[in-house]
Amino acid sequence: MSTKKEQTRERMRDAASRSFRSHGYAGVGVDAIAKAAGVTSGAFYAHFGSKDGAFRDALEQGLDEVIGAIPQYQSEHGADWVRAFADYYLGKAHRDDLACGCAMTTLSPEVARSGPDVKALFETKMKKIAGLVADGLPGGDEEQRLSRAWSMLGILIGGLTLVRSMKSNRLAEQIAKSIRRGAVDAAASLRAGEDD
């Protein structure tokens, strides 16, 4: 129906998503988010109801992006998809762009401080993501693959946070290399004795 309204809503959702990732939940105000979307706080509250509501919306959208991206990497890169994904995840472009960065990494620390509703949403989406990852992993039974999927996600999230916190680009690159290798190893069936 109203294309204009949906366009505005999309701009606001994007602005909220980018702002929360860049500055954290408490690090940005409603006025600033609205301004970034080219509207005022009145429009913000008409659409989202509250700052919390906007965060929930941004979180859901951000994790849905991941849910969409995983199968795409799997079908595009085949058995080597984990390496390709880790390359992107720890690459300089993703490192340097907080605003467009993966929601798992930028938003999860905020979720850890949030209430049960936000955590429930995060949990649902992350279970989906871990399941998709596990589906693309070789060897072992389903439980083993899921376990490796959580490990891979964990090391990517922690690794990205780590490299983003370094001052020296050279050190960041060195750590990124280590994390990439760790992620690929975590995803592979270790006990099968695979090597690179």
Residues that bind DNA (CB under 7 A): 2, 4-5, 8-9, 26, 28-32, 34, 38-47, 49-52
- Cβ 128 to a copy of itself, closest distance in Å? 13
Two tokens at 179? Answer: 């994390």
Q: Dump the DSSP string for 148-164.
A: HHHHHHHHHHHHHHHHH
Q: Which of 8, 11, 24, 32 binds a copy of itself (CB under 8 A)?
A: 24
Kindly tell me which of 43 and 157 has the beta carbon lying closer to a copy of itself.
157
In angstroms, what CA-CA distances link 154 with 73, 86, 167? Answer: 18, 12, 22
Q: Which of 8, 91, 162, 173 binds a copy of itself (CB under 8 A)?
A: 162
Q: Dump the DSSP string for 19-41.
A: HHHHH-STTS-HHHHHHHTTS-H
In angstroms, what CA-CA distances link 189 with 138, 140, 147, 153? Answer: 7, 7, 10, 15
Q: Is 142 in the site for a copy of itself (CB under 8 A)?
A: no
Binding site for a copy of itself (CB under 8 A): 22-27, 98, 105-106, 108-113, 116, 119-120, 122-123, 126-127, 146-148, 150-162, 164-168, 171, 174-175, 177-179, 181-182, 185-186, 190-191, 193, 195
